[in-house]
Amino acid sequence: MTDRSTELPRECWELIFNFLDHHRHFEPLSLVSTQFLSMTNHLRRSLIISSRTTPFLPNIFQRFPNLKEIEIRESDGDLDYLLHQISNSGLDLESLTLSSQEQFCLTGLRELGLRMKNMTKLNCSGTNCLQDTHLFEIGNSFPLLEDLNISFPQYNSRFDPIGSLDLQRFSGIVTDEGIIHLSMKLKSLLKIDLSGNHFVTDKSLQFLSENCLLLKEILIHECDFITQNGIGSVMRTCVNLNYISVDGIGIPSIELYFQESFVFAKKLCEINLSHSFISDELLSSIANACLPLKKLTICHCYDFTFVGVSYLLYKYQFLEYLDLEGANFLTDESMIDLCEFLRKLTFINLSLCSKLTSSTFFMLVSNCSSLKDIRMERTNLGVEEFLVDFGINPCVMSLNLARNESLSDECIKKIAFCCPHLQELKISHCPTITEEGIIEVLRRCGEIRHLEMNRCSGIKCLDIDFELPKLEVVQAEGPVLDDEALMMIATRCRGLMHLNLEGCLNVTTKGVNGVVQCCMRLREINLKWCDNVKVDIIPRMVFSRPSLRKIIPPCRFIPTDKQNKLFLRHGCLVCRG
């Protein structure tokens, strides 16, 4: 075929490619021509590194010279040497994620700091043995950091019977001393996550608010020695603060100083008070503070009532994001009143609000024309408390309706009628839904890309007689699908990229082979606990479907090191089954 890609200048093609929503779409483009391959290589900005890809890093860095973000996962080798390789790669990194590492690599980070002068984001969450000396090095090595995550470090420690610390058993600890050093070094800091650092106190917040004048976002979950007064002080001092996320507030009660601090946070547009004992008085204080509030999360909170939340929503009718998960006092009747204040919402979470039925769902769809994402997991969806009009809402794109035991085929059909542009649907653990309901959803919602129907025991087969070219992800764990249903998916969903069949005992080698042959874009497949799939199909899958990037095989398959290397040469990671 004649190569016609040169008809447009390279700059024009790059502008077009940059409109793609994910770099995974670069792969098919790279097969068109050598010019497209070169352009997609230069446009890629992010990379995930695991221990299995480490041997290929020099070639990877050479192929993708403009990487800006690197995430290191499952590093069981020398992390310092890995960072040494990154430091000498010639890249100009802006973001590095080192979460859940077994060790903190002082030498490697020090070297990285000397080379990567434009690093603005560092994620060290879940790191083992994190301590003040490591924070000293972070502050000294990356003075331009804007986003730092040091949340939930892992400690090998314990308390003695009388409650005092056995410091000799600590392999690492973060204290105020380390945070104070960071505050003096990181003058450009915009966001910090201190969650899970149990030994930092209000003193850390004081120095952060005094020294990091640009600070906009702070997250402080499970910080035992940070008090309401400390949090209130941050809201009063940080003039640029626009997001605060805390938990456990209100035990034993709400401090007046904290409650009155919201009026000082003139730029606060996102508030998260999850798992707290909040009162109607606190919600009224937030309401009367006249904030530019766009997002509010009060999931799994206690001691507030419909009066408090309705007054707050009345004041903030421009709210775009609302999370009320676990607010058990909500009823269909109360939601009628609240819907009047939710006209601008794009996201709402009403999961675990057990009194809500289908009436609330259809009221939201009809009255909140901007809604894109609705979550009503573990409610009474499927039961109609009273009849409401079914309005069509073309904006709704994502629904999480999992674990609704009363959700029926008739209800899911009505939902599909109301949300014709649906792209993501989660209905896992809904036992009363059958293939009749699923097929009608797929027929009406031609834009659907992501379908989760794990453990839906009522679904036995899928007799689909129409194409689903946009469906990319299917999650069908448990005894849901058999070979016949799998072959139907394979022939009708040729754009499928991710398929999860964990625990599908009715699926055999024949069905899996059909998917591999028909779905030319398939990237990941999970066959764990698929006991009727023969393990000798794994090599054939790797060699016959070049698009495959990850296979979780049946539990009996344990690849040798030689096999792993061979699979990786073909671009596929085969995990231990």
pLDDT, residue 30, reads 67
CA-to-CA distance for 304 and 556, rounded, in angstroms? 52
Nearest one of 512, 497, 483, 485 to 550, comparing CA atoms:
497
Residue 551 has phi, psi (to 5 degrees) of: -130, 130
Q: For strand 373-375 and strand 398-400, is the pairing parallel, antiparallel, or unpaired?
A: parallel
pLDDT, residue 159, reads 40
Give me 145's structure tokens: 């950091």
pLDDT, residue 182, reads 97
Q: Exposed, middle or buried by CB within 10 Å (0-12, 13-18, 19+), for 15?
A: exposed
Q: Taking the CA of residue 174 as centre, how many other CA atoms within 13 Å lie in the half-sphere pointing to its CB?
A: 36
- What's the DSSP call for residue 167? G
Question: 127: how many CB neighbours lie within 10 A of its CB?
Answer: 24
How long a stretch of residues is the chain? 577
Radius of gyration for the chain, computed over Cα atoms and rounded to the nearest angstrom: 26
Residue type, 375: R
In sequence order, what are the beta bridge partners of 165? 159
What is the residue-level pLDDT of the chain in tens, covering all 577 positions? 445 545 777 778 767 677 665 666 666 666 677 777 777 777 888 999 887 778 889 999 999 999 999 999 877 678 888 999 999 999 999 999 998 888 888 899 999 999 999 999 999 999 988 999 999 999 999 999 999 999 999 876 544 433 444 444 444 689 999 999 999 999 999 999 999 999 999 999 999 999 999 999 999 999 999 999 999 999 999 999 999 999 999 988 999 999 999 999 999 999 999 999 999 999 999 999 999 999 999 999 999 999 999 999 999 999 999 999 999 999 999 999 999 999 999 999 999 999 999 999 999 999 999 999 999 999 999 998 767 778 899 999 999 999 999 999 999 999 999 999 999 999 999 999 999 999 999 999 999 999 999 999 999 888 899 999 999 999 999 988 999 999 999 999 999 999 999 999 999 999 999 999 999 999 999 999 999 999 999 999 999 999 999 999 998 888 888 898 899 888 898 987 6
Task: List b or e across 141-163, with b for residues whose CB sees 16 or more CB atoms inside 10 angstroms.
Answer: bbeebbbbbbbbbbbeeeeeeee
- What's the DSSP call for residue 574? E
Q: Yes or no: say if 185 and 158 are a contact pair by the CB < 8 Å rule.
A: no
Q: Exposed, middle or buried by CB within 10 Å (0-12, 13-18, 19+), for 387?
A: exposed
Cα angle, residue 282 at apex, residues 276 and 284 outer, rounded to 5°: 140
Torsion (CA) 327, 328, 334, 336 in degrees, nearest 10: 70
